[in-house]
Chain A
Amino acid sequence: GAVVSQHPSRVICKSGTSVKIECRSLDFQATTMFWYRQFPKKSLMLMATSNEGSKATYEQGVEKDKFLINHASLTLSTLTVTSAHPEDSSFYICSANRQIGETQYFGPGTRLLVL
């Protein structure tokens, strides 16, 4: 089956630093990937749609300068949390699907803790 990986799985950083999270589709090409954020005991909230070769589409209320997305290849999207603050601490999950309208596969998530 399709596999999506994320790296790192867990990261702790100091306030003010930037953190990069990678999302890779391991056995298929994904022109579109999605980034979600999940706070404890809450559901997943869509942050942005990452489009290969073009700018990401951000959901309302998500700062594009804060959460930089780069989709440089058909198998890799990166999310950079810039100048991270404690309120950015969360579980970040990416997803992708093989074909439009089909099952979306999720990465294992990255837990970010900003001190």
Chain B
Amino acid sequence: SQQGEEDPQALSIQEGENATMNCSYKTSINNLQWYRQNSGRGLVHLILIRSNEREKHSGRLRVTLDTSKKSSSLLITASRAADTASYFCATDARQAGTALIFGKGTTLSVSS
């Protein structure tokens, strides 16, 4: 079953602009992870934020987590054409160590 929803489903921006993607989920979590997937390829782990964290940075990525609203956001600053991909949030919604449940994803297109 799908845990959450990302919005927007699709996002088109110009190089240099910032891209913000949101993710909502339904149940209590231990952590939330963001992944990137290029078309037809495997997943690349971007960042993990734990339920007791509110914000995390990694390079041009900034992730926030609001457990009261059961939502997270991924911000990519100064986007590049190479950032074009699908982005998924995933939560471990059950006991720690079990599988991730994925949102529907946001398809980001960055044009130069």
Contacts and interface: CB of A to CB of B under 8 A. Distances in A.
B33 A103 contact: yes
Interface stretch (B34-42, B54-62, B65-73, B74-82): B34-42
A54 interface: no
Contacts of A106: 35, 42-43, 45
Contacts of A36: 102
**B interface, by DSSP: helix, strand, loop or mixed?**
loop
A60 B35 CA distance: 24
A108 B45 contact: no
Interface stretch (A11-19, A43-51, A69-77, A80-88): A43-51
Interface of A is mostly: strand
Contacts, number: 59
Given A43-B2, A43-B88, A101-B31, A109 B101 contact: no
Interface in A73-115: 91, 93, 95, 97, 100-109, 111
A93 B43 contact: yes
B18 to A, nearest CB: 24
25 contacts: A34-B100, A42-B104, A43-B88, A44-B88, A44-B102, A46-B100, A46-B101, A59-B1, A93-B43, A95-B43, A95-B99, A95-B100, A100-B97, A101-B30, A101-B31, A101-B92, A101-B96, A101-B97, A103-B33, A104-B90, A104-B100, A106-B43, A108-B42, A109-B42, A111-B40
